[in-house]
Chain A
Amino acid sequence: MALYKPSMDVMVDSINRLNKLDLVVAEYVWSAPAEVTPAVGLLNTSIKITAKNQQSAYAGEMTLRYHRNPLSDLATQVELIVPVKELNTTKDIIDAMNKRFGTVFTAEDIVVRDLTTEEKVVGTPIQLDAVPTSLAWIGSTMVGTRTGGLILGDYLKNTRLNGLNYPSPTTTRPYAQIYSYWRNMSTSYNQLKDIVVGTDQLSIIRDVLAFQTNDPWLLTGSGRYSLQGAEVTAVGLCRDNPDISNTKYDFFIKVRLSDTYSIGLTGDLTLHFDEPVIQA
């Protein structure tokens, strides 16, 4: 049950309660509501009920008076801005209002129409008009819209995530820097100390990597640990290059892996090492 109750239920309940009757809606013809002019107090509407046939519990006809609410009253009840997912017809607004505010509007209460191109832009106020034969409502009102009412589960459908890819740009290949950043390769100082920028000394790099990591590094061919197409792009002192190296160490060598042949790692390997202290 919503905050507002279905109009016909309210009407029949009221007739029955006030007069100690048990009218059944289906046994009577309910006329279209008519305006009472001038209104008698709050009574601005009349409706005529007529018995349908001999099977009706009561016979004849009767005119009742009651109060129809202007739609504009709603703006006195609450700030009329509804969250909407998409906007095509006024029914989208009606549904959103029913869900958000506890109204029970149907197509018999509010004119369902296609929205104009301008109105379909979320945030544009939309005019709702009461259907002239609406039992409980008259007039019109403006309703604002905002994006919302999105159910997380409707949108976040794939719940099996690929993992955090920072700082690798791809989801399947970890960033090479992570693989090498923390490794202390000082025990290979003698081999690494003379490495220069270029591709000439990759075999030394391969030997050191294989020794330091115990992974099967290759010079040729594509593979998880491949140096084919790789290039030493920088060598130097870590303290001078804190942005690209681990300053815990003295020296670094940066090796750009090939995007084509290195199918296990991506980006730059950074090899760090210190000059070992020779024990006397």
Chain B
Amino acid sequence: MNTNSERMIIVLNDMFNPPKEFTDKRLAFSVPQPTTENDRNTLVTISGIPGRGYYGEVDVYYNRMDIAEYAPDFAFRSLTELNRDALTQALINLFKIQINPEDFVAFEPPVLADGESTELTMAIEENSLQWFGSITAALSFGPSWLDSVIGNADLDIYKHPNTVLNKQSARMWTWGADFSGIQAALKPNAKGDYTDWALVQSVCRRMGIPDFLKGKVVDRATADVPDANPAFQRVFIQTAVTSGQLAGALYFHYNPA
């Protein structure tokens, strides 16, 4: 997560084209001050760090955000973590705001027993570049609310074995097939190729498997290969598969003769 000053740098760089290449190595920020000038609520003095390209100081006017507006009615419950980090994470999860634990004045976590609750004022640090104000959090002891602990509710799941467009999954093609009968042909020879490529190719074609070029093949125990079929003891794997129609590694499962 970006810190306050990093976000300010982003804003500054967005202002200029061609970019001025401001970085937090080159610029320093003063403690922000409330103001009413220029129709902005904050004044900050930005100074160049000597020897890094810029020198001198500029007063910049901008708006900081009032935490009370963005995170009203903050209630937090936990069995274990009534601390600043957990509370900040809950704010991020619940209100989808960008904020860091360091934006808040440090506080002592209250000690609560089962069923007890308290109110805690969470004040923004005066040097926070992004936020000002304070909120009152209703803290209680008990299971955390799901929506305060789950910030990433969009799950990136249910992928197919192959995600290459217009190709099929080599592993699905051979997943359940028993290649014990041609294990002598599949076995890597001194060069690391199939011992009898002609036989391997003809068997694969007979099975309807799309054509592929031969490549280096290794012999592994299925127990050592997380995605191998555990119904078999061993597997020959051609990792690099060149094919117009197949993607991914080819697995030839077998049980030793």
Contacts and interface: CB of A to CB of B under 8 A. Distances in A.
Nearest to A78: B172
Interface stretch (A57-65, A84-92, A161-169, A197-205): A57-65
A277 interface: no
B69 interface: no
B175 interface: yes
B230 interface: yes
Interface string B176-209: 1100000000000000000000000000000010
Contacts of A18: 151-152, 155
B31 interface: no
Interface of B: 77, 79, 93, 142-147, 149-158, 160-162, 168-169, 171-173, 175-177, 208, 226-227, 229-231
Main secondary structure of the interface of A (DSSP, over half): mixed
Contact of B176 (A14, A66, A99): A99
B152 A58 contact: no
A143 to B, nearest CB: 13
Interface residues of A, number: 43
Contacts of B149: 19, 21, 58
A102 B175 contact: yes
Contacts of B150: 15, 19, 21, 62, 64
Per CB-CB distance, the 5 closest pairs between chain A and chain B, nearest first, are A18-B152, A62-B146, A100-B176, A66-B155, A78-B172
13 contacts: A1-B226, A2-B175, A19-B152, A40-B154, A57-B144, A58-B144, A59-B145, A62-B146, A65-B153, A66-B155, A73-B160, A77-B169, A78-B173
B73 to A, nearest CB: 14
Contact of A61 (B143, B147, B175): B147
Given A58-B145, A99-B176, A10 B157 contact: yes
Interface of A: 1-4, 7, 10-11, 14-15, 18-19, 21, 40, 43, 49, 51, 54, 56-69, 73-74, 76-79, 81, 99-102, 136
A259 B79 CA distance: 94
Contacts of B158: 7, 10, 66-69, 136
